[in-house]
Structure 1
Amino acid sequence: MSAGESESALVRRLHELLEPVVLDHGLDLAELQFRREAPGWVLRLIIDADDGVSIDDCARVSREVSHLLEVEDPIEQAFSLEVSSPGLNRPLKRERDYFRCRGKMAKIVCREKIDGQNVVIGRLGELENGDIVVETETGPVRVPLAQVSRARLLVEW
């Protein structure tokens, strides 16, 4: 098994191990990353909820995850644990992210042109048959989720 394959196996194992902890707190594990960064290895959990995530939510999950990782010991090298919310300009990766963020402004970059454009900016509407309806300045645009290269909420002031 190559280093990349073993790392993805570790990430899958960590996800299986840690997602129930997050769910037990009524939260959603939006993303799990384990990667080498400038200060060393970092295990990053991005948690989310329909009504937002508080600092107390992050602290509770962090304490419980830390304890579980000490007991299970699935990671061989030293690492730092970070637990946070996705932030105001959060990426949209899963169908439930689009559902949760209905009514908010987003920028969606598509793999292929949709209505003559690769970038769709507008207010997220309903999910319909694998498409997200986006209300743009020129009217609604249906974007197939399968065509999304990347998407992010836009901060509205």
Structure 2
Amino acid sequence: MNLKEQITKIAEGHLSDENHFLVDVVISTGKGFKKVLVLLDGDQGVTIDDCADLSRAVGNELEEKDLIEEAFRLEVSSPGIDYPLQSIRQYRKNIDRSIKVIPNEGKEIKGILKSADETKIVVDQEVKKGKKTEYKEVEIPMSEINKTIVQISFK
């Protein structure tokens, strides 16, 4: 098991309830130290206390097991708004929100996420007709999605 898999297993072991889930673990090398970023999300969002609790628990276990020999910095955060959706839970959490889907091939699709399952998502795609915007329902197979980003509206 590599370091990312070990940290993922540790973090998942410290999730206090089923409302929270791990999105990703990113390990990078900075100036003289490793940076370990644990991304946490929740069905009802994530608080600073949720991140702090998980950070303490994961940090303590990493120190106890001495998994990282050199100096490292651990960060636990919720994924930013520009971070692509990774799991079916994240898609479901964002139903009825505006998204941008970048497919493996073809033009990007903007619209409202209507549903999501393990095989596909359904989007009400924005179609401009002059000054008017109409919507048409589009099914996009998960296998054809490169990334999906939630769009912020300031209207």
What does the per-residue CA deviation read over 1:42-93, in whole Å, with 9 as the maximum and x for residues that have no partner?
Answer: 0000100011111111111111111111111111221100011112333112
The percent of aligned pairs where both chains have the same amino acid is 30
- After TM superposition, the score normalised by the length of structure 1 is 0.84
- After TM superposition, the score normalised by the length of structure 2 is 0.85
Residue in structure 2 matched with residue 3 of structure 1 by the alignment: none
Residue in structure 2 matched with residue 72 of structure 1 by the alignment: 65
Residue in structure 1 matched with residue 108 of structure 2 by the alignment: 119
Which has the larger share of helix?
Answer: 1
Aligned pairs (5 A) from 1:1-157: 9-24=2-17, 26-38=19-31, 40-113=33-106, 118-128=107-117, 130-138=119-127, 139-157=136-154
Q: 1:64 to 1:129 in 2, by over 3 A?
A: closer
The runs of 5 or more residues in structure 2 that have no matched partner are 128-135
Residue 19 of structure 1 aligns to a residue in which SS? Answer: helix
Please list every run of at least 4 consecutive aligned residues from structure 1 whose deviation after the TM superposition is greater than 6 angstroms: none
RMSD (Å), alpha carbons: 1.9
Give the whole-Å Cα distance in 2 for the aligned partners of 1:103 and 1:151: 14
What does the per-residue CA deviation read over 1:10-41, in whole Å, with 9 as the maximum and x for residues that have no partner?
Answer: 11121122211125584211111111135731
The runs of 5 or more residues in structure 1 that have no matched partner are 1-7
Tell me which amino acid in the other structure corresponds to 2:39: I
Q: 1:38 to 1:100 in 2, by over 3 A?
A: farther
